[in-house]
Structure 1
Amino acid sequence: MKKMWEGRFSEASSELLERFNASIMFDRELYEDDIAGSIAHASMLGDAGIITKDEASAIKSGLEQILAEINEGKFEWKIADEDIHMSVEKRLSEIVGKEIGGKLHTARSRNDQVALDFRRFVMRKNREISVQILNLIKTLLEISNSHTDALMPGYTHLQHAQPVSLAFHLLAYIYMFKRDYERFVSSFERGNFSPLGSAALAGTPHRINRHATASALGFYAPMENAMDGVSDRDFALEILFNISLFFMHASRLCEELILWSSSEFGFIAISDAYSTGSSIMPQKKNPDVAELIRGKTGRAYGNLMGLLTVMKGLALAYNKDMQEDKEGVFDSVKAILESVAILNEMLKTAKFNKKNMLSATERGHLSATDLADFLVREKGVAFREAHFITGKCVAAAERAGKDLSQMSAEELRGIDERITPDALAFLGLKASMDARKSFGGASSSSVLAQIASVQKWLGEKSSSI
C-alpha cells in the first residue's frame, strides 16, 4: 500500500518503522476534530476558488460519511495509515475518488492539521473541565451552607490549633477550586486561536482565508505567526499544569476525607456507594475513591513533566518528538473528568458527624490564643508576656486533665491575677471562633459573607456558560 508521501523514496518502509512511527493507535481520539477541520478547510478552498464548489461539496459529503462510519464502528483503522489524518484522507479518496480527494490537502500540512486537531480537542476539554469544577464548587458550597454551625478543630501541623466551622474549612477548598476554574478559563482565552493555514511552517502561496476557517471552527482568530502555529504546545502544557494543580488541591481534600473517615477522627461517613471492602477483613469500609484520586495526582504530574521534557530542547518548527504530546494529555483529561465527577457524587452522599467534630474541639486547648489576646486587649499585657502566661495556664489545664476552655476563673486567676472572671467569656469555643471577624476570618458573619460572595460569583459564571 502506497504512502501519501512516498514519491521521494525508493524503498518501502520496514514493518518495524511502521509500528514505531504510527500514532493512529491513540490520535484517532481526534477524529471529530480532524473531520471538522477538514470540512472547514474544504469549504474555505471552495469559497476562495482554489477548488470548485462541487469539489468542496463532494469532499464535505465524503467526510460526513466517514464521521458516520467511525461513530457506527464501521471504520477500519490500519497502522499502515500512520495517523488519523492519513487514515481519513485515504478513506475520502476511496469515496470521492483520488482526483477530488487529493485536493483536500491543498494549502495545508499535517503540521498545521495536527496542531489544529489537538488544539481544538484541548480547548473543548478546557470547557468541559471548567463546567465540572463549577459543579464541584456548588456541591461544596451547599455542604458549607448547611454546616456553618458545625464546630471542628482547625489544624496546623495536624495538631489542634483554633476552633473553626466545617463551612470555613470547606470554603478554603472552594477558593482553591475557584482558582482552578479560573485557570482553565484563562487558558481557553489564551489558547483559542487557529493554527490552520500555517501549513508546514511558513504559510502558503495559495490565497486562503484563515479568518474564515478560524471562525467556522469556533476560534477567536488565526494564530499570527505560522511557525508558532505549528510548533506551539503551550496550550497542551497549560491544560496539563491546570490538571496537575487541580489534582494537588483535590488530593489534599481527599487526604482529609481519608483521615476524617477513620475511627480516630470519625468526622465523616462516606456512602457505601463510594466505598469498598476488604477481601479478608469483613468489618472494613475503605475510602478507595479518595485514595484513587490522591494516587492519580502522581500520574498527572508525570504527564506534565513528560511533555515539558519533550518540548524543552526542540528547535523550531515541527519535530516528530511532538507526537509524544497527546497520550499524556488524553490520560490526564480522562483522569480529571472521571475524578471530578466521582468526587462530586461522593461529597453529595457523605454524612458529617457534628457531634464528633464538636467533641474534638474540646481537646487541645483551641481557645488558648483568645486568652493571650484577652490579656493584650483588656489588660495591656505585651503579647510575648501574654503568650507565656497562657502557656502556663495550658500546662495547668493539662495537669488537671481539662481543656483550657473548661478551667474555672479561680484556677486561672491563681496562675496570674490579671486573668479576671470576664476572661471566661472569651474562652468558649464558639466565642473564640466568632471573635475572628477580620476579613476572611472564621467567624460566623465572615463565613456567611464568604458563602454569599461565592454564590454571587457562581451565579455570574453559570449564566455565562
Structure 2
Amino acid sequence: MKLWGARFEKEADKRLNDFNSSINIDSRMYEEDIDGSTAHAQMLCAQGIISEKDLDDIVKNLSDIKNEIANGTLIIDENAEDIHMFIEEELTKRCGDAGKRLHTARSRNDQVALDTRMYTIKRLGSIKDLLKDFIKILCNKAQKHVYSIMPGYTHLQPAQPITFAHHLMAYVQMFIRDISRLDDAQKRCSVMPLGSGALAATTHNIDREFVKERLGFLQISQNSLDGVSDRDFVIEAASALSIIMVHLSRFSEEIILWSSREFNFIELDDAFATGSSIMPQKKNPDICELIRGKSGRVFGNLQGLLCMMKGLPLAYNKDMQEDKEALFDCFDTVCACLKAAAPMLESMKVLEDNMNSAAAEGFINATDCADYLVKKGIPFREAYRIVGQLVKYCIKNSKVLETLDIDEYKAASPYFDADIYKAVSLIECVNNRNVTGGPAPDEVKRQIDFAISCCQSF
C-alpha cells in the first residue's frame, strides 16, 4: 500500500504507477531531499514536536542512506513513486516510528519545492563556475591577439577593421551578463518554502527561520499557496540557460565560418574536430554544430515550462511534476556544451596572416578615409560621397585605397594630402579607435582586465 493509500480500497494499477512515477527523473535530488529532511527533523526536535531520540535515529539513518546511495550499496527502487517517498520508506524500514514522524508538519508539495530549489541553486552555481572558466580562456586567447587585425562585419560583409581580441571580448561581455543573470536567478531561487504544507501551512508550532538558516536560504516564502505552486524560479533558470545557449550558438556559428576554406581564419585542433566516412580531406567542426543544434532543445524546454504553468490554478497540480525533466535537461545540456567548447577554443590555432589579408581586401578603411576628410573640414555626408566614388574607382581599376597614388586621391578631392596613407593604414585605423569599448590594443587590454575583475566579483 502506498504511504498515501489509507483511504483507498484498491491498490494502484501498475499502469497508473508507471505513468505517475517520477523516480527516474527526480532521483538525482536524493542529497537535497536528505539534507532538507535532516534540517526539518532538527527543527521538529528543537520545537519539542519529536524527541531527541527520534531525531538521533532519523539523522543517523538519513546519513547512512545518503552515503549508501552515493557509494552504490543502496540501489534506488525504480518502482518507487519518487525519490521523496523512496527515502521516507527506506528510513521507516530502518527506524520504525521515528521515521514515520519525520513527515510531521510538512507535505510532499513543500518538500518537492524545497528540494527543487536547493538543486537549482547548486546547479546554477556550477554553470557560473563553468562560464567563469570559459571567460578566462577567451581572455587568455584575446591577450595573445590584441594586435591581430581582422575584418569586422555587418550583414556578414566586411565593414571596419577590428582585432581578433576585440571580437572575442564581445562574447566575453555576453557571458558576463549570463553570469549576472544566473546570479540573480540564484538569489530569487533562495526562498525557503518548507512550512507551506500542502497549501495552507500547518497547525504545528514550527520554526521556519530555523530551517532557513540550516539550509542557507536567504528568505522564507511569504504565502503558503505561492510557496508550493511557484515555479517562476524554474522558468527563470531555464530562461537564463537559454540565453547562454543563444550566445554559445552564435559563437559556434562564428567558429564554423572561420574554419571554412572561404574564411580560413582559424584551424581547430585535430583532437576537437571530426572527419568524413567517405571524403578523406574533411575536417568538420562537429562540436560547434552540435552546440548550435542543442540550443534548440534548451529553448524547447523553456517553452514547455511556460506552457505547463500558464493555465494552472492554485495551488499544486500534478502537471508541475514535468518541471524537473525540462530543468534538468537544460542544466545537463548547457554543462555539456561548455565543457566541450572550452578545450576546443583553448586549443584552436588563429591564422593571423589570413585575417590580415582579408582585412586588406574589403575597403574596411573607407570610413577612416571619410573621417580624414571630415577632420579637414568637409561635412561628413560630402566626405562619404567622395570616398564612395573612390571605392567605385578602385573596384573598376583593381586597386585598394592603400595603393592609389596621390594624384588619384587629389582628383577626388584637393583636401587629400600625403598623410592620407597613414590615415588608411589598417594598423592606424585600429589604433585610432581608442574610445572606451573600441578595438584599439590598449583599450582591449583594459577590457580584458575589466572582464577578469567582473568574474572575480561574482
TM class, shorter-length:
over 0.9
Structure 1 equivalent of residue 89 of structure 2: 90
Q: 1:244–1:304: 8 Å Cα contact kept in structure 2? A: yes
Measured in 1, the distance between the counterparts of 2:449 and 2:83 equals: 48
Letter in 1 for 2:95: V
Structure-2 separation of matches of 1:175 and 1:447 = 12
Provide, for residues 312-358 of structure 1, a one-character-per-residue CA deviation record: whole Å limited to 9, x for no partner: 11111111000000001111101111111221111111110111111
Residue 162 of structure 2 contacts residue 439 of structure 2 at CA under 8 Å; is this kept in 1?
yes
Assess if the C-alpha contact under 8 Å between 2:193 and 2:228 holds in 1: yes
Aligned twin of 1:341: 339
Matched, 1:450 2:447: yes
Q: How much does 1:404 deviate?
A: 2.0
Structure 2 match to 1:63? 62
**How far off its partner does 1:107 sit?**
0.3
4+ runs of 1 displaced by more than 4 Å? none
Contact kept, 8 Å, 1:19 with 1:79, in 2: the verdict is no
Take 2:145 and 2:115, find their aligned partners in 1: how far apart are those partners?
45
TM-score (ref. length: structure 1):
0.96
CA contact (8 A) 2:120 2:189 kept: no
Give the deviation of 1:79 after TM superposition: 4.7
1:21-53 residue CA offsets vs partner (Å, 9 max, x unmatched): 111111111111111111111111111110101
Residue 120 of structure 1 is matched in structure 2 by 118
Cα separation, 2, equivalents of 1:62 and 1:444: 61
Q: Does 1:213 align with 2:190?
A: no
Q: What is the CA–CA distance in structure 2 between the aligned matches of 1:406 and 1:169, rounded to whole Å?
A: 27
Asked whether 1:5 is paired with 2:19, we answer: no
Matches of 2:47 and 2:412, distance apart in 1: 91
* Residue aligning to 2:18: 19
Identity of aligned residues (%): 44
Which range moved further: 433-442 or 107-116? 433-442
Which residue is equivalent to 2:351?
A: 353
Secondary structure in 2 aligned to 1:81?
Answer: coil
The separation in 2 between residues aligned to 1:460 and 1:200, in whole angstroms, is 39
Q: How far apart, in 1, do the equivalents of 2:300 and 2:388 lie?
A: 46
Match of 2:262 in 1: 264
Comparing 179-188 with 437-446, greater Cα deviation is found at: 437-446
Q: Pick from 420, 432, 436: which aligns with 1:435?
A: 432
Instruction: Find the partner of 1:156 among 154, 157, 171.
Output: 154
CA distance in 2, matches of 1:337, 1:81: 29
- TM-score (normalised: structure 2): 0.97
Q: Could you say what secondary structure the match of 2:313 adopts?
A: coil
Unaligned 5+ runs, structure 2: none
Q: AA paired with 1:444?
A: P
**1:330 aligned partner:** 328
Q: Does 1:50 align with 2:49?
A: yes
1:103 aligns with 101
Aligned-pair Cα RMSD in Å: 1.3
1:180-329 equivalent positions in 2, closer than 5 A: 180-329=178-327
Any conservation in 2 of the 1:108–1:199 contact (CA below 8 Å)? Answer: yes
Question: Could you tell me which residue of structure 2 aligns to residue 419 of structure 1?
Answer: 416
* Matched AA of 1:81: A
Mapped to 2, the partners of 1:401 and 1:343 lie a distance apart of 41
Q: Distance in 2 between the 1:420 and 1:350 partners?
A: 43
Q: Residue 263 of structure 1: CA displacement? A: 1.1
Aligned residue type for 1:453: F
Q: Is the 8 Å Cα contact of residues 151 and 160 (structure 2) preserved in structure 1? A: yes
| Other-structure match for 1:168 | 166
Q: 1:74: which partner in 2?
A: 73
